[in-house]
């Protein structure tokens, strides 16, 4: 009935980290830290410079963009309105929000179910199926995009063409082996006794999953949501292929088409880039701690 | 990896167990269906496509013709891929084959290993020459560029990330702020970031990269438009005077490709640093304390504790980095300049172009299957070469 190794490996992770944080001594500045700070600041400035350039240029006039100005004399907020209306960013933005939301819901539903089954339900072939799914992480997207494109055009399975429809942009992404893996690892750490107790109360797996497991799993659900949000929002190759009209075109592809439309109007292009980047950065800043920690721990286990 | 629990063997399966099975399958079904249809099935279908003539519509069965037009020469391909596999054999001979004896037999084994390694080098380069003579030049050059891209970006981003992580780990104030800033490029949509890079590394003199060069008193560059190899850009005058002419692989990547590599390093360094930071947190403090008592310096501690104990993380990041290199698409696609069409075209861009630009579906499928095979061999190689030296508990 027990799964000793996995549980033991999982369980102590949280308390140990909490203890380490609590035991951190008060900071005391030492001169020896100065070179480290200097190096870190220089590195941070270099890695931030594209963002600074983007924001600064997006607020310039056309004249300022070609005159080596570091900052605009007066910020031209109107650039955002111009870009927003010129490239139909409103439509792209709406599309991106809908696509990302649907993909997140899909991933959470399918991967919670599968992760739970792989962790808790015993059925023949469980390990094999899990390993096969996990192996798909190694398959490069460059191999799958071509057959998938024919598939959504209805040339492989005769279900009609999905081009320029919402399902084409969402369904293929509604499950990933990585998130299944994340959920499975987390669910393995939930004590068996809880399930036994629920069972005595007459609850089946689905009841137990929705009433007990899911409320307990907020951290991993958060991590999965954030990872899915970023990858879905940033997806490019696939939406480029399956949206031939603007109808369901997401922001990334919209920005790409805007690159040629904007031409030499760098300030408008940069405003478009800010519009594309801003939602991700906002979500990232708000959830930064869970985000990086989720990635760090999940990355290490993967 | 998976915690296998020995199934309890029963003579026959009870009804409740069968219900349990059914629940399990139903729970797995939606996820498995999506992954099977859009993740596994396409591999088989790509192979199927690659065996036909297929330009937009499916044509006649042509066997391996598409593969032949990619590799050019079967013997060349055989020599090339065989040579890659020989590296594994050479490593096996060197390390394992005669592990138990430590005398003349081991020495002979090592000599043999060295000889096989030499042979594999000859086979790889000979095979490559045969392949490029007859094969699909665009794709093969794309592969070369992918190799440049991988070796140019992965080691750099790993070393930088390790430096950043070690600096951050010293309990400095603002650790979280720095971590957040360094991680930012990883979450940024690649299309937007690449659009920004296009402008920073524009050949126009007033753009940031050239402004910095001018400020440093250096000549301005064409950046993403520069198709000449780096050896020419940096030492062109010197090489001409010495009468040395580097060509092909040894001339190095173009400056345009180096710019793409800079983008890759910019994106992944912070991600790697965050993973390293977590890895550093997992190293028991007592090890450092014990080493300090024994009089080990900081550098010695780093060399003999940090590096070996981080090696699983380093290995993971290396594999991930190289696979990422082969997958890299968005930023290269956005950054490539229209009039230097193939200067930055890595293998995945070439595949996309064969399909999207030239509508040759079957050739693109064959190219993608070959790329997949190379990724598999590389993963094996890395498992063999680096996985061995990885410290494991």
Domain boundaries, chain A: 89-301
CB contact under 8 A, B372 and A139: yes
Residue B25 has pLDDT above 80, yes or no: yes
Structure tokens at A135: 């192996």
Task: Give the position of tokens 């126009």.
Answer: B204
Q: Who's near B23: CB < 8 A, 6+ residues apart?
A: A117, A121, A123, A204, A205, A206
C-alpha span between A7 and A189 (Å, rounded): 5
Q: At what angle do helices B347-356 and B137-168 cross, to 10 degrees?
A: 130
Distance of residue B369 Cα from the nearest chain A Cα, in angstroms: 7
**pLDDT given for residue A12 in this prediction:** 38
Helix (H, G, I), strand (E, B) or coil at B53: strand
Residue B58 has pLDDT above 70, yes or no: yes
**pLDDT given for residue A66 in this prediction:** 83
Give the pLDDT mean for B304-328.
Answer: 86
C-alpha span between B246 and A167 (Å, rounded): 51
**pLDDT given for residue B52 in this prediction:** 94
Give the pLDDT mean for B156-179.
Answer: 89
C-alpha span between B335 and A258 (Å, rounded): 14
Q: pLDDT tier at B70 (50, 70, 90 boundaries)?
A: very high
CA closest to A56 among chain B residues: B196
Structure tokens at B320: 């991930």
Task: Give the position of tokens 């199927």.
Answer: B48
Residue B49 has pLDDT above 80, yes or no: yes
A54 touches A276 (CB < 8 A)? no
CA closest to A129 among chain B residues: B32
H helices of B93-229, in order, are: 104-134, 137-168, 175-187, 190-200, 208-215
Q: Which of B31, B182, B277 sits opposite A44 (nearest CB)?
A: B182
Task: Give the position of tokens 């999965």.
Answer: A224
Does residue B298 form part of some domain?
Answer: yes
Chain A hits for B322, CB-CB cut-off 8 Å, are: none
Does residue B98 form part of some domain?
Answer: no
C-alpha span between B362 and B65 (Å, rounded): 10
Q: Which of A3, A118, A148 sits opposite B38 (nearest CB)?
A: A148
C-alpha span between B376 and B381 (Å, rounded): 9
CB contact under 8 A, A236 and B274: no
Mean pLDDT for chain B overall: 85
**pLDDT given for residue A101 in this prediction:** 97
DSSP B76-107: HHHHHHHHHHHHHHHHHIIIIIT-S--SHHHH
Does residue B340 form part of some domain?
Answer: yes
Q: pLDDT tier at B12 (50, 70, 90 boundaries)?
A: low
Encode pLDDT of B217-229 as tens digits. Answer: 888 888 888 888 8
CB contact under 8 A, B23 and A205: yes
Does residue B45 form part of some domain?
Answer: no
Q: Between residues B132 and B368, which one has the greater pLDDT? A: B368
All residue ranges of chain A with pLDDT < 50 are 1-23, 301-302
0.95 exceeded by pTM: no
B268 touches A295 (CB < 8 A)? no
To test the contact with chain B by mutation, choose from A21, A120, A147 the residue with the greatest count of B C-beta atoms within 10 A, namely A147
Does residue B249 form part of some domain?
Answer: yes
CATH 3.30.300.30 fits A89-301, yes or no: no
**pLDDT given for residue B98 in this prediction:** 60
Chain B hits for A187, CB-CB cut-off 8 Å, are: none
Give the pLDDT mean for B243-255.
Answer: 76
Q: Which of B4, B34, B375 sits opposite A171 (nearest CB)?
A: B34
Distance of residue A240 Cα from the nearest chain B Cα, in angstroms: 10
CA closest to B327 among chain A residues: A140
B272 touches B322 (CB < 8 A)? no
**pLDDT given for residue A127 in this prediction:** 94
Task: Give the position of tokens 């949206």.
Answer: A243
B328 touches B149 (CB < 8 A)? yes
**pLDDT given for residue B97 in this prediction:** 62
Q: Who's near A62: CB < 8 A, 6+ residues apart?
A: A265, A266, A267
CB contact under 8 A, B172 and A256: no
**pLDDT given for residue A20 in this prediction:** 46
CB contact under 8 A, B326 and A25: no
A80 touches A271 (CB < 8 A)? yes
A132 touches B40 (CB < 8 A)? yes
Residue B67 has pLDDT above 90, yes or no: yes
**pLDDT given for residue A77 in this prediction:** 93
H helices of A121-217, in order, are: 126-135, 141-152, 166-170, 177-188, 192-200, 205-208, 214-216
Chain A hits for B199, CB-CB cut-off 8 Å, are: 53, 57, 266, 269-270
CB contact under 8 A, B5 and A122: yes
Distance of residue A18 Cα from the nearest chain B Cα, in angstroms: 12
B42 touches A151 (CB < 8 A)? yes
C-alpha span between B370 and B386 (Å, rounded): 24
Residue B392 has pLDDT above 50, yes or no: no
Q: Say which CATH number the domain at B269 has.
A: 1.10.3720.10
**pLDDT given for residue B343 in this prediction:** 83
Give the pLDDT mean for B73-79.
Answer: 90
CB contact under 8 A, A295 and B361: no
CA closest to B329 among chain A residues: A237
Task: Provide ipTM, 2 decimals.
Answer: 0.85
Residue B156 has pLDDT above 70, yes or no: yes
Which residue, B362, B361, B370, is CA-closest to B77? B370
Percent of chain B with pLDDT over 70: 90
- Counting one residue from A and one from B, how many pairs have CB atoms under 8 Å apart? 291
To test the contact with chain A by mutation, choose from B13, B196, B364 the residue with the greatest count of A C-beta atoms within 10 A, namely B196
Give the pLDDT mean for B83-91.
Answer: 82
Does residue B44 form part of some domain?
Answer: no
Q: Between residues A125 and B337, which one has the greater pLDDT? A: A125
Q: Which of B4, B38, B269 sits opposite A127 (nearest CB)?
A: B4
Q: At what angle do helices B347-356 and A141-152 cross, to 10 degrees?
A: 20
Chain A hits for B213, CB-CB cut-off 8 Å, are: none
**pLDDT given for residue B327 in this prediction:** 85
The number of domains in chain B is: 1
CB contact under 8 A, A277 and B275: no
Measure the CA angle with vertex A150, ends A145 and A154; round to 5°.
140
**pLDDT given for residue A3 in this prediction:** 36
**pLDDT given for residue A24 in this prediction:** 52
């Amino acid at each position: 009935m027990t799964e000793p190794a996995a549980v033991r490996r999982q369980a102590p992770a949280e308390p140990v980290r909490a203890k380490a944080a609590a035991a951190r001594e008060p900071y005391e500045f030492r001169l020896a830290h100065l070179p480290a700070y200097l190096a870190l600041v220089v590195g941070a400035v270099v890695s931030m410079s594209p963002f600074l350039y983007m924001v600064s240029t997006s607020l310039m006039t056309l004249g300022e963009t070609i005159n080596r100005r570091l900052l605009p004399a007066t910020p031209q907020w109107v650039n955002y309105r111009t870009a927003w209306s010129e490239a139909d960013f409103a439509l792209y933005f709406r599309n991106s929000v809908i696509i990302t939301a649907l993909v997140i819901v899909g991933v959470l539903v399918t991967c919670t179910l599968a992760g739970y089954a792989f962790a808790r339900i015993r059925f023949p072939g469980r390990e094999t199926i899990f390993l096969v799914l996990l192996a798909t992480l190694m398959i490069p997207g460059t191999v799958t995009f071509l057959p998938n494109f024919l598939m959504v055009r209805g040339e492989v399975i005769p279900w009609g063409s999905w081009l320029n429809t919402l399902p084409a942009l969402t369904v293929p992404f509604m499950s990933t082996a990585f998130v299944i893996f994340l959920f499975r690892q987390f669910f393995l750490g939930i004590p068996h006794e809880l399930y036994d107790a629920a069972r005595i109360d007459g609850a089946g797996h689905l009841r137990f999953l929705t009433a007990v497991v899911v409320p307990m799993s907020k951290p991993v659900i958060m991590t999965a949501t954030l990872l899915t949000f970023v990858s879905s929002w940033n997806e490019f190759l696939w939406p480029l292929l399956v949206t031939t009209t603007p109808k369901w075109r997401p922001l990334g592809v919209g920005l790409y088409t805007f690159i040629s439309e904007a031409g030499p109007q760098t300030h408008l292009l940069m405003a478009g880039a800010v519009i594309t980047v801003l939602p991700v950065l906002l979500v990232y800043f708000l959830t930064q701690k869970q985000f990086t920690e989720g990635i760090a721990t999940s990355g290490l286990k993967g | 990896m998976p915690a296998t629990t020995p199934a309890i063997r029963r003579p026959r399966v009870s009804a409740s167990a069968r219900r349990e099975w059914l629940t399990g399958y139903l729970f797995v079904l939606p996820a498995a269906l999506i992954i099977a249809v859009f993740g596994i099935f396409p591999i088989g279908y790509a192979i199927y496509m690659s065996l036909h003539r297929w330009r937009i519509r499916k044509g006649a069965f042509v066997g391996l013709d598409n593969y032949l037009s990619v590799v050019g020469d079967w013997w060349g391909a055989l020599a090339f891929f065989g040579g890659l596999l020989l590296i594994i054999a050479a490593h096996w001979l060197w390390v394992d084959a005669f592990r138990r004896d430590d005398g003349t037999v081991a020495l002979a084994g090592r000599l043999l290993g060295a000889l096989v390694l030499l042979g594999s080098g000859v086979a790889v380069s000979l095979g490559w020459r045969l392949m490029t003579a007859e094969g699909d030049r665009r794709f093969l050059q794309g592969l070369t560029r992918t190799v440049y891209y991988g070796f140019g970006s992965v080691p750099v981003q790993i070393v930088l990330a390790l430096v950043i992580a070690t600096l951050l780990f010293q309990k400095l104030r603002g650790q979280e702020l720095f971590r957040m800033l360094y991680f930012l490029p990883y979450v940024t949509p690649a299309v937007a970031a690449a659009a920004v890079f296009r402008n920073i590394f524009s050949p126009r003199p007033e753009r940031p990269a050239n402004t910095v060069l001018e400020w440093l008193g250096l000549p301005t560059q064409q950046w993403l438009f520069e198709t000449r190899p780096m050896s020419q850009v940096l030492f062109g005058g010197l090489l001409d005077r010495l009468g040395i002419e580097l060509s092909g692989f040894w001339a190095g990547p173009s400056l345009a490709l180096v710019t793409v590599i800079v983008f890759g390093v910019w994106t992944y360094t912070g991600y790697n640093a965050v993973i390293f930071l977590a890895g550093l947190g997992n190293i028991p403090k007592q090890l450092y304390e014990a080493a300090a008592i024994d009089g080990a310096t900081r550098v010695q501690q780093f060399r003999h504790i940090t590096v070996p104990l981080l090696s699983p993380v380093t290995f993971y990041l290396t594999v991930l980095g190289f696979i990422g290199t082969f997958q890299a698409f968005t930023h290269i696609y956005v950054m490539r300049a229209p009039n230097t069409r193939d200067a930055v075209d890595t293998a995945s861009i070439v595949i996309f172009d064969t399909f999207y630009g030239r509508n040759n579906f079957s050739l693109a499928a064959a190219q993608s299957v070959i790329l997949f095979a190379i990724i598999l061999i590389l993963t094996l190689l890395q498992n063999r070469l680096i996985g061995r030296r990885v410290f494991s508990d």
